[in-house]
Amino acid sequence: MSTTKKIAGVALVAALGVTTLSACGGGDTKDKPAGASDAPKSKTVTLVSHDSFNVTESVLKEFEQQSGYTVKVLKSGDAGAALNQEILTKGSPRGDVFFGVDNTLLSRALDNGIFTPYEAKGLAEVKPEYVLDKEHRVTPIDSGDICVNYDKAYFAEKKIAPPQTLDDLTKPEYKNLLVTENAATSSPGLGFLLASVGKYGEDGWKDYWSKLKANGVEVVDGWEQAYNERFSGSAGGKKAKGDRPLVVSYASSPPVEVLYGEPQPAEAPTGVATGTCFRQIEFAGLLKGAKNEEGGKALVDFLVSKKFQEDMPLQMFVNPVTKDAALPELFTKHGVVVEKPENVAPETIAKNREQWVKAWTALVVK
Amino acid sequence: MAVPLAFFGLFFAYPVAAIVGRGLKTDEGWQFGRFAEVLSRPDIADVLWFTTWQAFASTLLTLLIALPAAYVFARFEFPGKQLLRAVVTVPFVLPTVVVGTAFLALLGRGGLLDELAGVRLDTTVWAILLAHVFFNYAVVVRTVGGLWAQLDPRQEEAARVLGAGRFTAWRRVTLPALAPAVAAASLMVFLFTFSSFGVVLILGGPAYSTLEVEVYRQTAQLLDLPTAAVLTMVQFAAIGAILAVHAWTVRKRETALRLVDPGRTTHRPRGWAQRTLLGGVLLTVALLIVAPLGVLVERSFDTPGGYGLGYYRALQDAGAGGGTFLVAPLEAIWNSLQYALAATAIALVVGGLAAAALTRRGGRFVRGFDALLMLPLGVSAVTVGFGFLITLDEPPLDLRTTWILVPLAQALVGVPFVVRTMLPVLRAVDGRLREAAAVLGASPLRAWREVDLPLVRRALLIAAGFAFAVSLGEFGATVFIARADRPTLPVAVARLLGRAGELNYGQAMALSTILMLVCAVSLLLLERLRPDKTSGEF
């Protein structure tokens, strides 16, 4: 639509009110013949997701050609906000499939009943430890580890070994080195808190955080500030003169530093402390009340297909969940394999998340 | 009157009422007991207290720093004045994510202030207050300065001839004439800082929280709608009270002013006192506004191989290597401009009609409507965005996935600017001119075109400029409703900042610089367009 048309349309809407408005809405769908609501058998399938969703254009095109569906993607906010919008619009969803609910929010999604069970074709290929919902209301799509990253140059220069485990972080040689995110508003922040719960249990984590606090942990609001401002190992952090060589980020952050290096370095400037990780698993599900259920099923199948699974790592910097998907060289060369991530059951998280976050805030922030 | 009422009813009152209702009404009826329950929580009381006092402090500090500038811009002629006026307005449109970055670079560890004086402000409330001054400087300079430039200096001179001292003359003549503009500016700054979101989130760290931040957290993160509803109502009440005070002060002081062409009141600074004042203001602008913006620009050129255009070049082919939904930055610029133009058009039509209606009629009802139009400025974007989701969900009004939702949401914030700008000018139009036109046989439309329009053209352009700038920088509502294939510039910047890696960070800085430029150029164009006539409250 041209700008002038748009403005004319808008002026009309404003001048004539509601009647014109609906007419204009109709005009919009006429422009794009694949409007989901008005076609008898819809050829458009809509994926609702969070801001981080990404896919290579050719991969998506291939799916569209094979299935005959046109894919429309709606992204709205971070993972928590996107899911909550789905819960609010339960029964009258904006799309057919929702992608991006993770294990920390899974119970909220399931308890609110926003998904229709569907067993994806290709589910057999998915590693069984990721299939957390036996009724298949959700299908696992990717996994990623939230871990402490370290600035290799800093530790090389100081001739100290970088920390490896959660326990290490409380040792005197790592005093005043770690920056983490607010567990109340940031998903890596919450993940790190959950790593400590997984490791030290529901009774022991507070004690651990008291030690971390005594050892000078710094808390900032979001990943952007922690990683791009405070962390000395990242590109942004170097410019911002960040002086914290330890940050809570992702196990995939070092490969990303390589990929977006200018020029690409031979070795990642940052490393991962593999004993500090919490595993996040992201799921997709067919939305209850979907206008295009058939298309939605095809889309879920596509998300666990080899093609999409192998595309994900370099688009969203997460790991595939299927057995047959190969990792790109960037990941095998510069990434790490986290053998034993910490875990907490989704139901336990759902039951306690609020009180943990409150206790954490009182203990660490105030 | 009907159009603005319908617009606000449909796209503001109804969605907000619906989401608040969802929080407060259960199967057992309305849960008004929640108010006492939520408000008695100590953490909520802390939030309320901090929200209020930081807004007061920010407003005072902004007035203190920006009023001298308003005088300088109004009375002095100096090279680069127009450019500078556009520059001080740029912060107004920048996404807070970006500004937070710039401020940390200046006030944080290893920042300019740290290196020069060994002072770090990044974890203190000072960082928040200064950032608020940075954002709202233009509100005071434009609102107060615009009027000041048109006050006839001969009135003050007359008082002095009659024996009043310099200060007395200013206090008795100029100050009362300026008071409504100062009150209006203070009110706007207070509203913006009372509902501050991004600044507090980033610079305050997790220790400080405003009502707006808390509403966001309760709605978007926790889905605790009852608590969010209570907090939204509290924010409503607070803003209603502020608006009531404002309406009262304006009514008390609304006097017919003799306004003159600003070109006639300015002169080059004379004497050491005036030169010092000008120098002081320029220095403040340099430190407070140009320096943070400069940091961003500097970083956008600071590539690993030395200064260069590397990040800008990367912007051109960012779409190629990445995925479908990674933003093609040049497209984002185009999207932003389109949305902002559409939003400006809506805001001008709705706001213009509202202002016209408010001028023609009096009475309590109309004054109430005046206040109602300001409410969107004080209501959280997440409340409006989530309200849209649950109300505009049925044909023919299932707009949740259409492009028009974005300009609609942006226009909500733009309309108050249009109304506030146009209202004083429209009120100042002499009714007898219209009557004369009517007597001479002009139709009402013709009378409006021949009498009102030429007089309000400048106000209209200023209003358009503000509405456009606000829409260009709007982030809060847009992030919830933008479609993946049509992200705006601020959304694109946020997405780039959300990824690790040199190139992403550099591109975010480059894109922010472009956003600044686009905004400054649009404002400069508008400044050139406007014929010098009366100005409104901005």
SS (HEC) of B298-355: HHHHEECCEECCHHHHHHHCHHHHCCCCCCCHHHHHHHHHHHHHHHHHHHHHHHHHHH
When computed from its CA atoms, the radius of gyration of chain B, rounded to whole angstroms, is 24
**Cis upstream peptide for A128 (omega within 30°):** no
Both tokens of residue A198?
């997984």
Label residues A291-317 b or e (16+ Cβ within 10 Å = b): bbbebbbbbbbbbbbebbbbbbbbbbb
More confident residue, B55 or B481: B55
SS3 assignment, position B430: coil
d(CA B488, CA B469): 13
d(CA B468, CA B466): 5
* Predicted model pTM: 0.81
C-alpha B27 chain-centroid distance: 40
Q: What is the pLDDT of residues B82-93, one digit of tens each?
A: 888 888 888 876
The full length of chain A comes to 366
Q: What are phi and psi of A64, to 5 degrees?
A: -60, -40
Q: Do A54 and B338 touch (CB under 8 A)?
A: no
Q: Does position B261 have pLDDT exceeding 90, yes or no?
A: no
Q: What integer pLDDT is reported at residue B296 of this predicted model?
A: 85
Helix axis angle, B81-89 relative to B502-529, nearest 10°?
Answer: 130
SS3 assignment, position A39: coil
Please give the helix or strand (H or E) that residue A109 lies within, else none.
helix A106-111
**Cis upstream peptide for B531 (omega within 30°):** no
The residues with which A249 forms a beta bridge, in sequence order, are A147
User: Which residues, other chains included, contact B285 with Cβ-Cβ below 8 Å and sequence gap of 6+?
Assistant: B69, B84, B87, B88, B137
Span B198-206, average pLDDT: 76
* Least confident among A13-17, B288-292, B479-483: A13-17
- The terminus-to-terminus CA distance of chain A in angstroms comes to 51
ipTM reported for the complex, 2 dp:
0.77
Q: Is residue A160 within 8 Å of residue A229, measured between CB atoms?
A: no
C-alpha B341 chain-centroid distance: 17
Helix ranges (H only) for B40-174 are 42-75, 81-89, 96-107, 112-117, 125-148, 153-161, 166-169
Q: What integer pLDDT is reported at residue A210 of this predicted model?
A: 96
Across A147-156, B43-52, B180-189, B521-530, the highest mean pLDDT is recorded for A147-156
What is the mean pLDDT, run by run of 10 residues, along chain A of 366 residues? Answer: 42 40 36 41 87 88 94 85 90 92 93 96 94 96 96 96 97 96 89 96 95 94 87 86 93 92 88 96 96 96 96 93 94 91 92 91 86
Q: How many CB pairs under 8 A join A and B?
A: 229
Q: What is the pLDDT of residues B97-130, one digit of tens each?
A: 677 767 776 776 666 777 777 777 776 788 889 9
Q: What integer pLDDT is reported at residue A326 of this predicted model?
A: 94
Span B328-355, average pLDDT: 87
List the 165-194 stretch of A: residues with Cβ below 8 A of B.
182, 184-185
Q: Do B402 and A227 touch (CB under 8 A)?
A: no
Residues of B in contact with A259 (CB under 8 A): 501
DSSP E strands in A56-165: the ranges are: 70-75, 97-102, 115-116, 139-151
Burial of B260 (0-12, 13-18, 19+ CB in 10 A): middle
C-alpha A42 chain-centroid distance: 29
Label residues A23-38 b or e (16+ Cβ within 10 Å = b): ebbeebbeeeeebbee
* Least confident among B386-390, B415-419, B523-527: B523-527
Q: What integer pLDDT is reported at residue A324 of this predicted model?
A: 92
Residue B508: name the closest of B98, B83, B103 by CA: B98
**CB-based contact (8 Å) between B503 and chain A?**
yes
Please give the helix or strand (H or E) that residue A218 lies within, else none.
strand A218-220
Q: What integer pLDDT is reported at residue A44 of this predicted model?
A: 93
Q: What Å distances lie between residue B10 and B28, B388, B401, B486, CA to CA?
A: 27, 10, 17, 24
More confident residue, B244 or B190: B190
* Least confident among B121-125, B150-154, B213-217, B534-538: B534-538
More confident residue, B78 or B27: B78
Task: Calculate how close chain B gets to A123, using CA atoms only, in Å.
Answer: 25
Q: Does position B532 have pLDDT exceeding 50, yes or no?
A: no
Neighbours of A189 (CB within 10 A): 25
Q: Over B55-82, what HEC string results?
A: HHHHHHHHHHHHHHHHHHHHHECCCCHH
Q: Is residue B348 within 8 Å of residue B418, measured between CB atoms?
A: yes
Q: What integer pLDDT is reported at residue B515 of this predicted model?
A: 83
Nearest chain B Cα to A249, which residue? Answer: B500
DSSP 3-state percent helix, strand, coil across chain A (nearest 5): 45, 20, 35
Q: Do A57 and B324 touch (CB under 8 A)?
A: yes
pLDDT > 70: percent of chain B: 86
Q: What integer pLDDT is reported at residue B518 of this predicted model?
A: 81
Residues of B in contact with A229 (CB under 8 A): 101, 104, 108
List the 258-287 stretch of A: residues with Cβ below 8 A of B.
259-263
Q: Does position B478 have pLDDT exceeding 80, yes or no?
A: no
Q: Is residue B471 within 8 Å of residue B339, measured between CB atoms?
A: yes
Residue B376 DSSP label: G
Q: What integer pLDDT is reported at residue B221 of this predicted model?
A: 81
